[in-house]
Structure 1
């Protein structure tokens, strides 16, 4: 499989008003396409139509006033973003996202909120193929100690000059660089076709989430744990327990 090393790949990231993908809104989004012919990038600043909490604005740098003055209408932006993602999935181009469950779930929820066709509805099938460097790292280096935020994986995999993480376009570039480094370090990834890799990640995520939730229960933590579902969460499932910043949306 050459997709992990040569592309084409479509990286995706969002910055949002909060950490609940079913209730919160997208503030910025970025798509970065990489392939044999180079790199293309698109970014969106969106007026989410609600107040951006100070905690979220402190991380991604977008205030309510700035989004209202400069942001796109959400319906237009969501239509453009979803069209790009749908086109990639339709051509079996892998969509690469760090903690993909959050970003793919929130855009599907936003599309429903604005009464636009979801990506799944457009495809007529589940969203795939998806590649999630966080899921890969948990599976391939299960016993490594320490955090697994995007900034941590950049250090682990030798990705330098990640730039100003917490902005969607920089996060996407760093995520794609981490994936390339993972493929180099773990060449066994290259032996799976995209469908196999997608299904393998779903199983690995479920196993990790079950173990994580068992640990939470054994230590007395209350509240929702990690969703068992990947790459889309389910509203009737336990919501992912995630920190605020998009590239920090990992629970362990």
Structure 2
């Protein structure tokens, strides 16, 4: 089972918006999960971001401005705590596991800078990693699975696909734990027989190849997760995200629509003028 047999560090944030340069973190979570996927420690904290939470954001994660101001902790103290935890985990080789982590890591980096705190790469003395992003891996392993009418590759839909229980979606702690469980399932699927993959409709109805060949290809993609180490996996995701975003840009370009997918993973580089106080 390679790297999956060790401890995983689940990480997730809930925020005020989707703009990583201006959004604020209002809830943050770390979940330490062992090889059997049991929660060993769970640390979820509410942050007083100092700005109002838009109604649209509150409708998603359920955290209102009133609750944040009443229960939220000092952002500088909370951010420092999590920066220490994240950097210590990565320095020890523990993978940071999450969903679409290019968003969370970029936002977290900007929040650290906003509050005058050392960034993760400064604490590590190198680029951040190892990182396991189930959003990138799911598309890497199963790129042709139809997602139009199934919730896409959102965490809830992905949890359902991998048979993972997700209670209280959009709570940072619940989402972080679900990401760890999905990662565990992905690697477990790499040990399944080829026949296991014949159950999926997009394998049975493949228009590009026979169902048997589609099942073999899918099996091989998941099997690779059991064969490579975390350094190799991290590099594979960098390459995969670059390719995935290039394909996404091409897709939208054919429709005459803009697309800001930049292929940068696991964090977008910092541009000094972009961070707003």
Same fold at TM > 0.5:
yes
CA distance in 1, matches of 2:110, 2:226: 33
Q: Which residues in structure 2 correspond to 1:173-192 (within 5 Å)?
A: 173-185=177-189, 186-192=222-228
Contact 1:82 1:118 in 2 (8 A): yes
For the 8 Å contact 2:16–2:53, the answer to whether it is kept is yes
Alpha-carbon separation, structure 1, partners of 2:235 and 2:108: 21
Distance 1:25 1:2 in 2: 36
- CA drift of 1:233 comes to 1.6
Structure whose alpha-carbon radius of gyration is higher: 2
Distance 2:156 2:6 in 1: 23
Which position in structure 2 is the counterpart of 1:244? none
**Structure 2 residues not aligned, in runs of 5+:** 190-221
Structure 1 counterpart SS, 2:226: helix
Once the 2 structures are TM-superposed, how far is the Cα of residue 36 of structure 1 from its aligned partner? 5.4
* 2:192 paired residue number: none
| Aligned residue in 2 for 1:15 | 14
Output the CA distance in 2 between the equivalents of 1:61 and 1:111: 24
Q: CA offsets per residue over residues 38-96 of structure 1, 9 Å max, x none?
A: 51110110000111100001111111111111100100110001110010011010000
Structure 1 residue ranges (4+ consecutive) displaced by more than 2 angstroms after TM superposition: 35-38
Deviation at 1:164, TM superposition (A): 1.1
Residue 242 (structure 1) aligns with: none
Counterparts in 2 of 1:61-210, with a 5 A limit? 61-146=62-147, 147-160=152-165, 162-185=166-189, 186-210=222-246
The alignment's C-alpha RMSD in Å is 1.5
SS at match of 1:192: coil
What's the TM-score once normalised by structure 2's chain length?
0.81
Q: Give the match for residue 229 of structure 1.
A: 264
Report if the CA contact (8 A) 2:2-2:227 is conserved. Answer: no
The CA deviation string for residues 133-185 of structure 1, in whole angstroms up to 9 with x for no partner, is 1100101101110111011111111113x111010011111111111111111
SS of residue matched to 1:19: coil
SS, match of residue 116 in structure 1: coil
After TM superposition, the structure 1 = structure 2 runs for residues 26-37 of structure 1, keeping only pairs within 5 Å, are 26-35=25-34
SS at match of 1:191: coil
Q: Which residue of 1 aligns with 2:252?
A: 216
Provide the C-alpha distance between the structure 2 equivalents of 1:131 and 1:29, rounded to a whole number of angstroms. 18
Aligned to 2:46: 45
The normalised TM-score by structure 1 is 0.89
Residue 7 of structure 1: how far off its partner (Å): 2.0
8 Å CA contact 2:2–2:229 kept in 1: the answer is: no
How many Å separate the matches in 1 of 2:127 and 2:229?
17
C-alpha distance in 1, partners of 2:11/2:103? Answer: 11
Contact 1:216 1:225 in 2 (8 A): no
| Count of residue pairs brought into register by the alignment | 234
Q: Separation in 1 of the partners of 2:252 and 2:145? A: 19
Q: Is the 8 A contact 1:120 1:126 kept in 2?
A: yes
Pairwise CA distance, 1:228 = 1.2
